Structure 1
């Protein structure tokens, strides 16, 4: 068999080569060649614009199905058990979970898939993400949530208007948990006046989600593949919705601030002043996620496993890794391959986003 017939591999057995040839030949419809014009157009697009659009689109994909489920649930009324003919807290949790998974699947390959200002700040703090990109990533994330809220108001405007009129006729507030504004962003129950309690609840929920996200993105974690990470992260959000949605949680600065601006446009500035709660919903996510990622970095991260898997290099190269292993005696099964993997990794180049090329989010 000629080298050409063997796909110029030379080192494959004939049976394997035949299988590869059949795989590449199995096209139902021939793919359209990529034109030079298309390549030139894509090359001319600014990278920052692609990243911003991906972050905004991803947040939109995450927020829109979640608040749509909340709208169904709120407009159609709920029983004392939290169930209506059109949904439940369980459905809302799944709306956010699947929305997050879709956001990661569709947009993370372009921007790295932060979709949360706190995550962007944590990547800049721990993983070398450029600080110069942080402001426009955060702006894009908030803009995506804002657009999700605006589109939802447009699509449900007749129903929301009728619900607003009913609420006013009944002498109930527009801005309150269960009111029209609550379809867009979080408000506490009227009895929840203890801001310290609300702060701790939000801090715990966001820390829980942050640890799960950081574990899913750890390239040394053998239990999470890149294909399963979107759904694992989505389920982390869903479990917190199922457990704590009835006592007011936000989970994401962009998700809350973007839709809260929409709520203020349609229902008044009380969307920000109600029970002095909005600062908790907007800001607590950042310190909580920083705490969660610091917890993982300082107490759970195993960077030697990361190097052993070929996902990182020692700052001093192969020589520094030799010194560390010699000094610590860490010649355990698996770690010995770190030097070889480190040498192989040096032959490639790490992308600007680094971690995202290893396990995309």
Structure 2
């Protein structure tokens, strides 16, 4: 009490501490009409595109910056590791969702945007805008990184050229920005399979996290769960060469082509760029057809039947659920309580 200088011992320690803390809280400034008018005048599409670009930047930059620290210092353990790189991407994804998800929905992946348009009613007219913004965010992340590490990356590129090797090869400056194959990786069918599996795995995690009927996830933990899904795939398959995201790879690959040669778009690049889309569509189909429980979502109050209460009653009558009584109408056929 002497340290708090409140002299309010009679009201109790808890109340005294609360009063002391409140004295040092900066109260928010009242919102002016001018600010409201300005925010109302901003085009919605521009805010969404900016959020997607900034979000992808927040996701890509920590990962490639961690790779730059690792590769530009001779892969010395003191400057990083595959474990560190995986965490950099995971935390970057979490930061991206936390920072920009509330504005644009937090897609940050062209395949996710396309799947939301197919299954969740996302407007198709917005799909090209979102994809452009996502690729641009990745391009900007690569551009900033090259600007920051330009002397080191230029010296590394010169060393590779002196050995008659392309800078756009594993260990070169290009591989800091995007994925390139090792010398022994020549089986493109195997690379396709690995990329397809990785993207499908991540896709199922994303849809399970976004499922409002999932009792094991909350909005506060969702960014970290999705980020850890990416990190697990990096830890498991980075040695096999993976990309995981069209925007992440294409944007930085364009930067690699500008600074280190057009061979950045080699025979492997279509796998790195395009497999993400069919794999994520496949993962979404698996979740929608096998794992999704729309009745549970309706029961939890997160959605409604397309025909309203009348449609829901028809379903309950058809399935025999209504016969169990009013108290059991929001129970699953396997006995799980969705209320």
State the TM-score, normalizing by the size of structure 1.
0.83
Relative distance call for 1:313 and 1:243 in structure 2 (3 A) is same
8 Å Cα contact 1:208/1:292 also seen in 2:
yes
Q: Is the 8 A contact 1:93 1:238 kept in 2?
A: yes
1:165, distance to aligned residue in structure 2 (A): 1.8
Match of 1:36 among 14, 18, 33: 33
- Paired with 1:208 and 1:112, the residues of 2 have a C-alpha distance of 21
Runs of 4+ in 1 over 4 A off after TM superposition: 331-335
Is residue 64 of structure 2 the alignment partner of residue 67 of structure 1? yes
Q: Does 1:153 align with 2:146?
A: yes
SS at match of 1:326: helix
**1:289–1:337 Cα change, 3 Å:** same
Distance (Å, rounded) in 2 between the aligned partners of 1:172 and 1:106: 40
What does residue 211 of structure 1 align with? 204
Q: Given that residues 115 and 281 in structure 2 are in contact (C-alpha distance below 8 angstroms), is that contact kept between their aligned partners in structure 1?
A: yes
2:12 aligns with: none
Structure 1 residue 335: Cα displacement: 6.2
Structure 2 counterpart SS, 1:192:
coil
Supply the distance in 2 between the matched residues of 1:214 and 1:188 (Cα, whole angstroms).
30
How far, CA to CA, are the matches of 1:188 and 1:159 in structure 2? Answer: 22
Q: How does 1:323-334 map to 2 (within 5 A)?
A: 323-330=314-321
Matched, 1:192 2:185: yes
1:85 counterpart SS class? helix
Whether 1:231 aligns to 2:224 is yes
Match of 2:268 in 1: 277
Q: Pick from 275, 278, 290: which aligns with 1:299?
A: 290
Counterpart selection for 1:105 from 80, 98, 116: 98
Per the alignment, do residues 240 and 44 of structure 1 end up closer, same or farther by CA in structure 2, a change over 3 Å counting?
Answer: same
Tell me the distance in 2 between the aligned counterparts of 1:65 and 1:293: 27
1:7-34 deviation line (CA, Å, top 9, x unaligned): xxxxxxxxxxxx9xx99x9572232111
Which residue number corresponds to residue 124 of structure 2? 131
- Deviation at residue 178 of structure 1 after TM alignment: 1.2
Report what 1:163 is aligned to.
156
**Equivalent residue, structure 2, for 1:353:** none
Q: What CA RMSD, in Å, does the superposition of the two structures yield over aligned residues?
A: 1.9
Task: Write the deviation string for residues 249-301 of structure 1: whole angstroms up to 9, x where unpaired.
Answer: 0000000000000000001110002xx10000000000000000100000010
Q: 1:241 aligned to 2:234?
A: yes
* 1:13-72 CA-partner distances (Å, limit 9, x unpaired): xxxxxx9xx99x957223211111110000000000000000000000000000001111
Alignment partner of 1:45 out of 22, 42, 45: 42
Structure 1 residue aligned with 2:110: 117
2:55 to 55, 58, 63: 58
1:263 aligns with 2:263: no
2:157–2:260 contact (8 Å) kept in structure 1:
no
Q: TM-score, normalised by structure 2?
A: 0.88
Q: Paired residue for 1:321?
A: 312
- CA offset at residue 170 of structure 1? 3.0
Output one character per residue of 1:134-157: Cα deviation in whole Å (capped at 9) or x when no partner: 000000000000000000000011
Q: What is the CA–CA distance in structure 2 between the aligned matches of 1:113 and 1:336, rounded to whole Å?
A: 35
